[in-house]
Structure 1
Amino acid sequence: MAQNDDRTPELPSSLDAPSVEGVMPGGGTVPFRLPAGALTYLDRNQYISNLEIVGFFPSVKVTIFGDEHSCLWAKGSRRLIAFKGGWVDVTKPTKAHVIAESDLATFQSCVYNARLKKWIRVVAHQMPLTPGTPQYPRGKYHDDYARAAIADPGFRGIKTYDVTNPEKPELLSAFETGPSGHGVHLPFYDGGQYAYLACGWDDQLRMESTERVYSNGLMIVDMSDPAKVKEVSRWWVPGQRRDEAEFYRATYPFAGDQCSWTGNRTPCIVPKRVEDGGTIGYGGWGHFGLYVHDLSDIRNPKVYGKVTHPLEAIGGIPYHHVVPVTADPLRHPRLQNLVIAIPESLEADCREPFHTSYVVDVKDPAKPRIIGLFPRPMPHPDAPYKDFAMARGRFSSRVMQHWIAPGQARPEIVALSYLNAGLRLFDISDPTEPKEVAYFVPPRDGDISDYMSWRRGTTEAVFIEWDRNLIWLSTHAGLYCLSAPILGPPVLEPMAVTGWSVPHVNAGWDG
């Protein structure tokens, strides 16, 4: 086989092949046709159940909080949430405001390093993405679109900052992960010795999805000195590299579909640090599945086991975000050894199959198994559509509340940001049957004539302050602060953090 047959920038030539319509003109590969009955406008109404709005800050255009695992800086009663562009000061929940910074990319970690006695911020940098647009509906499979992303990739890697004084961040290092790869999409760093990067180090990691020219594997780096980051090891799924094409095509049913996500999106989330005796990490690898990584030899990572749903559909990112459940064994015996696995859609208007979130039992690391499926959210009875597939924009979960947050987490509560379906709260007291208990769908923003202004939906990320019973919801229209009866009365005054949802993280933050 000629090498060019297996290199992504050459694949757009397939667009020139004659189409075969079958029984329905306009059918074919993802993106599918617009669903019949889709709205011709954006619904400006809001819908709420079992939640209350504490405050709305339209000037705070926060889309994503940190890296979805650790984002809160705290000192005394002061609290800052890290986001692209700086910080949101939430010390006074009714007066949230932005502290701007420059050179900060979307995904990042912000944690306290107890050994250095410093707050460290790890910021990810990657090459431009290639989402489908009206001009390029097949994303990177349009040759000129792919080549534009490759031609001006920008810095690819991580930058580390000392943010002990958040108003005066100090750049410690700029660690490049590879001159020809995708760069770092997402870091996981908990303040310990190692950071785990969803990272593309060269152009040989395969990506079927239209949204990325290249794919990501897992890179582990030593953060003993954040000013001198060092690579420790790297791992990829067998068949993921281009020189493993024969194995890839013989092994994976989605091989060649040009829409499935074939790479690492969530790097290892490591509940117990390796330097403290931990050996397990959980990673989201899209259509490859949820992997339980064996970190017993940090320089030679392996895999204990993996899981995918047997009826997993093409398109989207089935294992976009994975979060281990932290629960007291005496109070919550049924919530032990669980991971929540969360998908994300990529095509607006349900132009790809719907994916749902899973509860995964990881008691046996070699045999993780799906034991619960989250129900499909349904619209409020007063909404002008009967399914969110008709509401315009992307319809799926995206991320769960942050794993590291102030206060003791309620492990039975799962809050999912749901793009065009807003915020959805679920109760997993019975992990085999998650139940929706609350929701908030904010008014839609954007202009229906400007596709890129509404394609993502409205809701992006969710962060819960467990000690103040507050829910922070980022949307493209602004920042919401919410409360929920299921959490208890909100605390609306400044309050010092006295503990964290993951006790070994941020130890010593209070000086």
Structure 2
Amino acid sequence: MSASSLPKPDFARNMTLIGHSDQGGRPDGVQLMVNKGFAYIGHMFSKGFSVVDVRDPRNPVGVDYIAAPPNTWNIHLQTYGDLLLVINAKDMFASAEFQDEKAYYTGQIGKKVGTASGVVEKNWTAGMAVYDISTPGKPRKIGFMPVKGGGIHRIWYTGGRYAYASALLDGFTDYIFITIDMSDPANPVEAGRYWLPGMNEAAGEVPTSDRRAGLHHPTVSGDTAYCAWRDAGLVILDVKDATNPKLKVHRNWSPPFKGGTHNCLMLPDRDLLVVADESVLDNYEDGFKPIWLFDMREPSNPVSISTFPEPAEANYKSKGGHFGPHNIYENRPDGLVSSKYIFATLQNAGIRVFDISNQYRPEEVGAFVPPEPATLMDRRPNRKKVIQNCDVYVDKEGLVYANDYNGGLYILEFKG
């Protein structure tokens, strides 16, 4: 694709678009990973997942698409080495009860879909699929781990024996933490689990709140899992024994803040933890959602020391759609690992890069806001045709890959 035919950004600073793909005609994306020159992209509305050849980042080409089972989404996935792990769960945004997305982000999801009681009739596939990607760009399914319930939401896997995930299981009010034994990739099995008190309805536990106290997903550094537990904040687990995860710390700043904690990134060389709260409502209805920086020098007592600045060059609060954090790049060991630069998606405000050299005063040093998407893949009612950047991945060479609910795959050079 020539530079003249690339989408023209609404705003850019220290970031240059070098490649763009409609992902084989399915421009909606959620999580993306880059492995051996190929991008693997989970879809929100097109179902399934796609593979895009990005070996020439200026000319990305869609090369494969794997459909999801009926009534199932594959929005999140992980690649590492020769393995691709893909979540299978109830397609929430296709369900009548979640056409108003507020319903998805409020209340206990297990009660809303009926899995908390365990009596709902299931017409979706729940679990985790395993693909061999030793031939780059050509996923070959080799295994599947079923779960009883709504399914798996998001996984953390960087090789080794264990994967770590959030799962909506029968009997629980929302997503809980599970560990998965990957010693035989063709036959993964659940190894351990942890939930916050009150979540195990089947055991007679009573929730302490009617909010979305469910795990979005963990990231793992050493023997510690850093868990973004939506409206219940930050949960830190000891996973030295993966079969028996144990609570180390639980901190919740909601209220007074509005919750939605989405992901955590530990920077062990600096004893810092980055935590993003997701903006989940249109038109800034849920207000300021911070990206927090915590001082972790005393692991038992995380202390918030700063928040990242909001963009100020345009009025994103009234642009439509969501404004504020969705995702941060999680320093994948096969991609860029940086304790200076934090890459984040701010939905209708595009992709941002922050310099945290001074941890007490993070600064924005890069930005790219794509234009209005060519088409609206999101078929839910009352969706505005604006960019909603979702995920970001950074490779070892520093190229930035970002996607959107509607706008396709953007490949960027950061001039930092």
Q: Normalising to structure 1: TM-score of the pair?
A: 0.68
1:270 corresponds to which letter in structure 2?
A: V
Aligned-pair CA distance for 1:437? 1.5
Q: What secondary structure does 2:287 align onto?
A: coil
- Residue of structure 1 in register with 2:393 after alignment: 463
Aligned-pair CA distance for 1:58? 4.2
Task: State yes or no: 1:271 paired with 2:221.
Answer: yes
- Residue of structure 1 in register with 2:39 after alignment: 81
- Residue of structure 2 in register with 1:107 after alignment: 76
- Residue of structure 2 in register with 1:474 after alignment: 403
Contact 2:327 2:345 in 1 (8 A): yes
Contact 1:348 1:455 in 2 (8 A): no
- Residue of structure 2 in register with 1:404 after alignment: 332
| 1:65-119 superposed Cα distances (whole Å, 9 cap, x missing partner) | 43xxxx2222xxxx1121122322111111111121314522111111xxxxxx0
**RMSD of aligned C-alpha atoms?**
3.1
Mark the runs of 5 or more structure 1 residues left unpaired by the alignment.
1-43, 113-118, 207-214, 250-254, 273-278, 328-335, 381-386, 487-511
Cα gap change, 1:139 to 1:287, in 2 (>3 Å) = closer
Mark the runs of 5 or more structure 2 residues left unpaired by the alignment.
1-7, 43-48, 69-73
Cα gap change, 1:311 to 1:138, in 2 (>3 Å) = closer
Q: Distance in 2 between matches of 1:407 and 1:111?
A: 10
Q: What is the correspondence of 1:216-365 to structure 2 with a 5 Å cutoff?
A: 216-242=175-201, 248-249=207-208, 255-256=209-210, 260-267=211-218, 269-272=219-222, 279-309=223-253, 312-314=256-258, 317=260, 319-325=261-267, 327=269, 336-365=270-299
Q: What secondary structure does 1:389 align onto?
A: helix
Cα gap change, 1:424 to 1:238, in 2 (>3 Å) = same
Q: Distance in 2 between matches of 1:438 and 1:462?
A: 14
Contact 1:309 1:370 in 2 (8 A): no
Q: What secondary structure does 1:372 align onto?
A: strand
- Residue of structure 2 in register with 1:485 after alignment: 415
| 1:203-230 superposed Cα distances (whole Å, 9 cap, x missing partner) | x322xxxxxxxx1001112110011212
- Residue of structure 2 in register with 1:196 after alignment: 164
Aligned-pair CA distance for 1:292? 1.4
Aligned-pair CA distance for 1:422? 0.6
Selected match of 1:124 from 87, 105, 119: 87
Q: Normalising to structure 2: TM-score of the pair?
A: 0.83
Aligned residues: 385
Cα gap change, 1:168 to 1:478, in 2 (>3 Å) = closer
- Residue of structure 2 in register with 1:11 after alignment: none
- Give the structure with the larger helix fraction: 1
Greater gyration radius: 1
Contact 2:152 2:165 in 1 (8 A): yes
2:343 corresponds to which letter in structure 1?
A: A
Task: State yes or no: 1:158 paired with 2:167.
Answer: no
- Residue of structure 2 in register with 1:182 after alignment: 150
Q: Calculate percent identity across the aligned residue pairs.
A: 22
Q: Using the TM superposition, name which of 162-171 and 46-55 deviates more.
A: 162-171
Cα gap change, 1:222 to 1:147, in 2 (>3 Å) = closer
Cα gap change, 1:455 to 1:187, in 2 (>3 Å) = farther
1:396 corresponds to which letter in structure 2?
A: G
Contact 1:307 1:369 in 2 (8 A): no
Selected match of 2:357 from 412, 426, 429: 429
Cα gap change, 1:226 to 1:137, in 2 (>3 Å) = closer
Q: Distance in 2 between matches of 1:227 and 1:270?
A: 23
Q: What secondary structure does 2:348 align onto?
A: coil
Q: Distance in 1 between matches of 2:191 and 2:23?
A: 42
1:183 corresponds to which letter in structure 2?
A: G
Q: Distance in 2 between matches of 1:160 and 1:134?
A: 28
Contact 1:412 1:427 in 2 (8 A): yes
Q: Distance in 2 between matches of 1:321 and 1:371?
A: 17
Q: Distance in 2 between matches of 1:301 and 1:321?
A: 19
Q: Distance in 2 between matches of 1:122 and 1:407?
A: 17
Contact 1:423 1:459 in 2 (8 A): yes
Aligned-pair CA distance for 1:136? 4.2
| 1:306-337 superposed Cα distances (whole Å, 9 cap, x missing partner) | 223375433x51x211112254xxxxxxxx12
Q: Distance in 1 between matches of 2:254 and 2:334?
A: 37
Q: What secondary structure does 2:322 align onto?
A: coil
